[in-house]
């Protein structure tokens, strides 16, 4: 049924049909995505260990309860010792990626700058950051200190919708993605599916935008209505459209790492297994201690917490294997990457 699609240039109508696929058509899409993953030699699942280092955030995204204007949330910043103890725990679990995530909190940068070189020197792990927008010099400095990779999702590639939901410009976000690449770090990006006001056309734009950027990692997650936000009483994003987005990216982009995010499990039992079956190949295990975990309310204060056992079981049930830690090597620094300009920057 989808044999006749030219994957180097699918039409918008074809993408809409695939994005909304269910039943047999969806199974065909997933099967094609798994074939693409195998063909790209990307069937081993990379495991990351995440520590959520701060829940302070400058941003005011309407979907996230860590937004600056939520006064009902207790805020925390972990100190250097606490973070390094957790990274040691991640290392002890034989995990090769130390994923440091936080709200956009420049007041915490001194802590980051202390720990990045220590993780490289003492633990020899891949350092992956996801802490938001900064000036160009910061990204350059972090890359020089040893940060290997950085995730900055565009969230919504439509400039108007982005501005409406996030109250900031898409252009600035895209510029930061360019800085990250220029600095030589691997770039991860992606979107959220099911935001109030988002249409199928917006989602097709998101798919095509990520294909243009050609990121090293690309992720999508279903929108989860979050307490103490303007979207608290709206409905969750569509599971099928999220999985279909993952599969389409796997087929069109082939090589990137694609996570199966915990929000999938929050929406549906075995949601993360469904993500692996749709072409994903990363699972992130949460190492944030209980006391901070409950305050790191990105999806919801009742989010699904991925444990080591859950991750391993999910990988096994998908018929896959974890990527051996010795194969997770820090990428060699790349020269200034060519960067596809955004739709927003085009206009």
Applying CB under 6 A, the residues found at the interface with ligand 5AD are: 63-64, 153, 155, 192, 221, 223-224, 226, 263, 298-299
- Nearest to ligand 5AD of 37, 67 (CB atom): 67
Indicate the residue among 36 and 97 with the shorter CB distance to ligand 5AD: 97
CB 321 to ligand 5AD: min, Å: 26
Tell the smallest beta-carbon distance from residue 189 to ligand 5AD (Å): 9
In angstroms, give the least distance from the CB of 305 to ligand 5AD.
Answer: 14
CB of 221 to ligand 5AD, least distance (A): 4
Strands 126-130 vs 97-102: parallel, antiparallel or unpaired? parallel
Euclidean distance between CA atoms 245 and 324, whole angstroms: 27
Question: What's the gap between Cα 164 and its chain centre?
Answer: 21
Of 126 and 155, nearer to ligand 5AD (C-beta) is 155
State which residue, 31 or 228, has the beta carbon closest to ligand 5AD: 228
Which tokens in the block code for residue 15? Answer: 């993408």
CB 129, CB 150: distance < 8 Å: yes
Q: Which residue has the tokens 């201690």?
A: 289
* CB 291 to ligand 5AD: min, Å: 20
Beta strands 149-151; 186-193: pairing state: parallel
Residue 163: how many CA atoms within 13 Å on its side-chain side?
7
Strand arrangement, sheet containing 186-193 = 217-222, 186-193, 149-151, 126-130, 97-102, 46-54, 282-286
Closest to ligand 5AD by CB, 221 or 281: 221
Give CA 72 to chain center in angstroms. 26
Q: What is the DSSP string of 7-41?
A: TTS--HHHHHHHHT--HHHHHHHHHHHHHHHHHTT
Decide whether 157 or 221 has the Cβ nearer to ligand 5AD: 221
Q: Minimum CB separation from ligand 5AD for residue 231, in Å?
A: 8
């Amino acid at each position: 049924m989808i044999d006749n699609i030219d994957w180097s240039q699918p039409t918008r109508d074809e993408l809409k049909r695939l994005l909304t696929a269910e039943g047999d058509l969806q199974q065909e899409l997933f099967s094609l995505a798994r074939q693409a993953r195998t063909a790209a030699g990307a069937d081993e699942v990379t495991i990351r260990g995440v520590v959520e280092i701060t829940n302070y955030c400058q941003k005011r995204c309407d979907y996230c309860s860590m937004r600056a204007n939520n006064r009902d949330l207790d805020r925390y910043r972990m100190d250097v010792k606490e973070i390094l103890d957790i990274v040691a725990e991640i290392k002890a679990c034989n995990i090769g990626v130390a994923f440091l995530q936080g709200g956009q909190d420049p007041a915490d940068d001194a802590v980051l700058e202390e720990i990045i070189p220590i993780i490289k020197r003492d633990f020899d792990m891949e350092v992956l950051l996801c802490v938001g927008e900064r000036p160009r010099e910061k990204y350059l400095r972090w890359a020089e200190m040893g940060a290997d990779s950085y995730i900055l999702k565009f969230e919504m590639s439509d400039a108007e919708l982005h501005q409406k939901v996030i109250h900031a410009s898409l252009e600035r976000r895209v510029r930061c993605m360019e800085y990250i690449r220029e600095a030589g770090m691997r770039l991860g990006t992606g979107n959220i599916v099911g935001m109030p006001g988002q249409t199928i056309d917006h989602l097709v734009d998101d798919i095509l935008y990520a294909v243009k950027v050609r990121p090293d990692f690309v992720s999508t997650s279903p929108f989860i209505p979050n307490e103490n936000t303007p979207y608290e009483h709206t409905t969750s994003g569509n599971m099928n459209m999220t999985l279909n987005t993952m599969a389409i990216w796997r087929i069109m982009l082939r090589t990137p790492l694609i996570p199966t995010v915990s929000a999938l499990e929050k929406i549906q039992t075995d949601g993360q297994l469904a993500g692996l079956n749709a072409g994903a190949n990363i699972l992130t295990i949460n190492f944030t201690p209980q006391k901070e975990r409950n305050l790191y309310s990105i999806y919801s204060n009742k989010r699904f917490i991925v444990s080591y056992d859950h991750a391993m079981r999910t990988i096994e049930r998908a018929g896959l294997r974890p990527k051996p830690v010795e194969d997770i090597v820090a990428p060699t620094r790349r020269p200034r990457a060519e960067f596809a300009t955004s739709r927003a920057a085009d206009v």
